[in-house]
């Protein structure tokens, strides 16, 4: 593995051990996402192999096209909803994220948004700016079943917020709403 995913693996193991128990009774181990920014996105690709993971967020990241065949198989065999949040053409990882999106299986629910703000996105703005908003809407949609958040991705919400979007199979994402 090119990236060190030790912390994400430890977090997934901790969730498996503690979800639904004692003071973590409200932690739902069936609603797990992995996500990462830059090299953290690569770590999230590796962590997404855990069967507990339901959705993947790749923020300003993507494997190089010269990455090992084994690593690229993670992308070419992806079968869970995956969302790419890229910083436009000035984002150093733009081409990687774009290339990875293109080789996903055609049946995989996939969303890719580009906002031309560069590699560090809008995280230094209040509440993370537009990237922060998109992030919580992604989690609300894919883990909580939030209807207004699903419109951001399945409808025109992201485009109305300035994102250039490609998407497919959003209708295959079905989440029982939390209530």
pLDDT tens-digit readout, 90-147:
999 999 999 999 999 999 999 999 999 999 999 999 999 999 999 999 999 999 999 9
Distance separating alpha carbons of residues 125 and 142, to the nearest angstrom: 24
Please classify residue 128 by burial: count the beta carbons closer than 10 Å to its beta carbon, then call 0-12 exposed, 13-18 middle and 19+ buried: middle
Nearest Cα to 179, choosing from 150, 143, 152, 154? 143
Which range is least confidently modeled, 11-20, 62-71, 154-163? 62-71
Give the ranges where the chain is alpha helix by DSSP (H).
6-18, 39-47, 69-76, 94-102, 129-139, 147-154, 157-160
Contact 15, 29 (CB under 8 A): yes
Give the ranges where 1-113 is alpha helix by DSSP (H).
6-18, 39-47, 69-76, 94-102
Contact 80, 39 (CB under 8 A): no
Three-point CA angle 156, 36, 51, nearest 5° = 90
Supply the pTM of this predicted model: 0.94
CATH class of 29-172: alpha beta
pLDDT tens-digit readout, 150-169:
999 999 999 999 999 999 99
């Amino acid at each position: 593995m090119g990236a060190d995913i030790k912390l994400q693996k430890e977090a997934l193991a901790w969730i498996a051990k503690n979800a639904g128990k004692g003071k973590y009774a409200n932690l739902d181990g069936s609603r797990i996402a992995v996500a990462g920014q830059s090299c953290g996105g690569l770590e999230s690709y590796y962590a997404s192999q855990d069967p507990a993971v339901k959705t993947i967020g790749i923020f300003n990241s993507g494997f190089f096209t010269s990455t090992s065949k084994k690593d690229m198989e993670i992308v070419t065999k992806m079968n869970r909803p995956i969302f790419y949040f890229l910083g436009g053409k000035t984002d150093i990882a733009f081409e990687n994220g774009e290339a990875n999106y293109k080789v996903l299986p055609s049946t995989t629910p996939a969303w890719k948004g580009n906002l031309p703000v560069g590699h560090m996105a809008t995280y230094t703005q209040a509440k993370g700016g537009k990237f922060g908003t998109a992030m919580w809407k992604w989690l609300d949609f894919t883990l909580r079943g939030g209807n207004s958040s699903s419109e951001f991705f399945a409808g025109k919400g992201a485009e109305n917020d300035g994102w250039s979007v490609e998407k497919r199979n959003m209708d295959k994402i079905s989440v029982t709403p939390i209530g």
